[in-house]
Amino acid sequence: MTEWKPPQLPARIFINPRLSPAEESLAAAAPGVVDAEGFARAAAAIEAWPGYQPTPLRQLDGLAGALGVARIAYKDEGGRFGLGAFKAVGGAYAVLRHLQDKLGGNVTVADLIAGKYRARTTDITVCTATDGNHGKSVAWGARLFGCRSVIYIHQGVSVGRERAIAAYGAEMRRIPDNYDASVRACARDAARNGWQVISDTTWDGYREIPRHVMHGYGVMMGEVLAQLLPREDITHVFVQAGVGGLPAAVAGYLWLEQDALRPKIVVVEPEKADCHFQSAKEGKPTAVTGKLDTLMAGLACGEVSPLAWSLLDKASFAFMTVPDEAAVFAMKTLAQGVGGDPRIVGGEAGVGGLAGLIVAATDGDARRALLLDANSKILIIGSEGATDPVLYAQLVGRRPEEVLAAHEALTI
């Protein structure tokens, strides 16, 4: 892709009629989802993990000019703890909190990493269902803190992602159905065997661990606010949704930090896995069924997390869907670097928000509906890098190492 020319692709947009008014507090609008204390505790723990460092917030000025907006800031999570995705700060943090609660007393991060409680933690098993990145985070956290993990994947998860999770010592179980079926299989086996589910979605009687996951995601937003240029406001956030934990954490963090000045949250989904879009239209959690065979496998979820939805229903300015082609174009856009922009490796599920922005900004009706103009300052959460390098190369036409090498050459 030498000349940057965005294709005309279809998108559905639903402006949320239930958006809370600016003067309403998060505690009043969506109580018990996320809170400042939970975000602060997660940040303190995660920043003490070996290898922690903030991921970069990259300025895409060339792309902003091409799309007719003032600024685009891209939070590049591809290097997070070497796992390649933002999920590292969610699932692994929930594993930590579970072990601390299970062991009791004043069990520290340092003690667990040092193996002080290994005689007890080796008898503890955590499990989860995943499209890839969340399972890798749980498996990595289990290895880091000294317990056993069992990870459930569905038929749409690539072999490359399966091997990447197994590399952290997890026992892998593949379910011949979709993501939501793997969630149910995981919950059933956990109840039978006395394991602890570490999920990023909620159901009746299961809320606290997904809250830990969302609080862990808040680390990203704390970094973003520290990395923004002085007096740099954000008017819009385009963020992709699977079950909803990521956009809920983003929206909740910004609501707490910026209150009435919070930006417009646009939740983006694949058109073939649009449970948030359908839930927004119906005004209640609404499942979508079938194979959910989107290329954006990490977003192939048919049911919203009820807890996350209770916040997104009040915090989201709009919901939109994009076709798979939009994600591939966004990946190529990042790899090329428009107008001298840094060259970035973005995975197919991680670029959903950027895909939504490109489609919306180049369509007159969508642009007007989302109130995008020359003064708009956009935040994009680039939630993964090339978590499946083989698939990335097939889609982009370049290996991730080549893209990174081209970026390094530009910065020398």
Q: Which residues are catalytic?
A: 87, 131
By CB atoms closer than 10 A (0-12, 13-18, 19+), residue 69 is: buried
State the Cα–Cα distance between residues 191 and 44, nearest whole angstrom.
Answer: 32
| Beta carbons within 8 Å of 65's beta carbon, 6+ residues apart | 339
DSSP 373: -
Secondary structure (3-state) at 152: strand
3-state secondary structure of 266: strand
The span from the CA of 397 to the CA of 281, in Å, is 37
CA nearest 254: which of 18, 39, 17, 15? 39
CA dist., res. 266 & res. 225, Å (int) = 18
Residues 6+ apart with CB under 8 A from 91: 128, 134, 135, 136, 137, 138, 140, 141, 198, 200, 213, 216
Residue closest to 129 by CA, chosen among 381, 279, 298? 298
Instruction: Give the CA distances from residue 340 to residues 78, 337, 397, in Å, rounded to whole numbers and listed in that order.
Output: 20, 6, 20
Contact 129, 199 (CB under 8 A): yes
DSSP 341: P
Angle at 75 between CA 127 and CA 166, to 5 degrees: 25
Please give the helix or strand (H or E) that residue 357 lies within, else none: helix 352-361
Helices (H) and strands (E) in the chain, counts: 18, 11
The pairing of strands 264-270 and 71-76 is unpaired
